[in-house]
Amino acid sequence: MAQHTITLIPGDGVGPELSEAARRVIDATGVDIKWEVVDAGLGVMEEYGDPLPAHVLDSIRRNKVAIKGPLTTPVGKGIRSVNVALRRELDLYALVRPTKSYPGVRSRYENVDLVIVRENTEDLYAGIEFAQPATLELIADIERLGGRAIRADSGITIKPISVFGTQRVFRFAFKWAIDNGRHKVTAVHKANIMKYTDGLWLRVAQEVSREFPQIEFEDRIVDNMCMQLVQKPELYDVMVMPNLYGDILSDLCAGLTGGLGLAPGANTGDEIAVFEATHGSAPKYTGLNKANPMAMMLSGVLMLRHIGEGAAGDRLEKAIARVIADGRSVTYDMKPERDDPTAVGTSQVADAVIEVLAAS
Ligand code: NAD
- Residue 114: phi and psi, rounded to 5, are -120, 155
Q: Do the beta carbons of residue 13 and residue 43 sit within 8 Å?
A: no
Mean pLDDT of the 307-315 span: 96
Q: Which helix (H) or strand (E) holds 354?
A: helix 346-359
Digit-coded pLDDT (tens) for 329-342: 999 999 988 889 99
Burial of 237 (0-12, 13-18, 19+ CB in 10 A): middle
Measured by CA distance, the residue closest to atom 26 of ligand 1 is: 280
CB of 121 closer than 6 angstroms to any ligand 1 atom = no
Digit-coded pLDDT (tens) for 92-101: 999 999 999 9
Q: How far apart are CA 121 and CA 132, in angstroms?
A: 24
CB of 333 closer than 6 angstroms to any ligand 1 atom = yes
Measured by CA distance, the residue closest to atom 30 of ligand 1 is: 280
CA 353 to centroid of ligand 1, rounded, Å: 23
CA 247 to centroid of ligand 1, rounded, Å: 13
CB of 260 closer than 6 angstroms to any ligand 1 atom = yes
Q: Which helix (H) or strand (E) holds 141?
A: helix 136-144
Q: Which of 237, 243, 233, 230 is nearest to 185 (CA)?
A: 237
The pick from 72, 279, 285 for probing ligand 1's pocket by mutation, whose C-beta has the most ligand atoms within 8 angstroms, reads 279
Least confident of 66-80, 103-117, 133-147, 306-320: 66-80
The pick from 260, 290, 294 for probing ligand 1's pocket by mutation, whose C-beta has the most ligand atoms within 8 angstroms, reads 260
- Residue 31: phi and psi, rounded to 5, are -70, 135
Q: How far apart are CA 198 and CA 162, in angstroms?
A: 10
Measured by CA distance, the residue closest to atom 31 of ligand 1 is: 72
Q: How far apart are CA 320 and CA 263, in angstroms?
A: 13
With cut-offs at 50, 70 and 90, classify the pLDDT of residue 279: very high
CB atoms within 10 A of CB 164: 10
Q: Which of 342, 264, 338 is nearest to 303 (CA)?
A: 264
CA 161 to centroid of ligand 1, rounded, Å: 27
Q: Do the beta carbons of residue 303 and residue 31 sit within 8 Å?
A: no
> Which pLDDT belongs to residue 50?
85
CB of 346 closer than 6 angstroms to any ligand 1 atom = no
Measured by CA distance, the residue closest to atom 9 of ligand 1 is: 282
C-alpha count within 13 angstroms, C-beta hemisphere, residue 293 = 33
> Which pLDDT belongs to residue 79?
62
Q: Do the beta carbons of residue 70 and residue 11 sit within 8 Å?
A: yes
The catalytic site residues sit at 125, 190, 223, 247
Q: What is the mean pLDDT of the chain?
A: 94
CB of 71 closer than 6 angstroms to any ligand 1 atom = yes
Q: Do the beta carbons of residue 176 and residue 96 sit within 8 Å?
A: yes
Digit-coded pLDDT (tens) for 210-239: 999 999 999 999 999 999 999 999 999 999
Number of helical (H) and strand (E) elements in the chain, helices listed first: 12, 12
Q: Which of 202, 124, 219, 208 is nearest to 172 (CA)?
A: 208
N-to-C CA span, the chain: 20
pTM: 0.92
Q: Which of 183, 166, 284, 158 is nearest to 236 (CA)?
A: 183
The minimum-distance atom of ligand 1 relative to the CA of 75 is 32
CA 13 to centroid of ligand 1, rounded, Å: 9
CA 70 to centroid of ligand 1, rounded, Å: 8
The answer to whether residue 245 scores a pLDDT higher than 80 is yes
CA 83 to centroid of ligand 1, rounded, Å: 13
Cis bond upstream, residue 133 (ω within 30): yes
CB of 291 closer than 6 angstroms to any ligand 1 atom = yes
The answer to whether residue 77 scores a pLDDT higher than 70 is no
The answer to whether residue 291 scores a pLDDT higher than 80 is yes
Rg, the chain, Cα only? 21
CB of 299 closer than 6 angstroms to any ligand 1 atom = no
CB atoms within 10 A of CB 257: 23
Mean pLDDT of the 316-326 span: 97
H helix runs in 180-309, sequence order: 198-209, 222-231, 243-256, 294-306
CB of 173 closer than 6 angstroms to any ligand 1 atom = no
CB of 343 closer than 6 angstroms to any ligand 1 atom = no
CB of 282 closer than 6 angstroms to any ligand 1 atom = yes
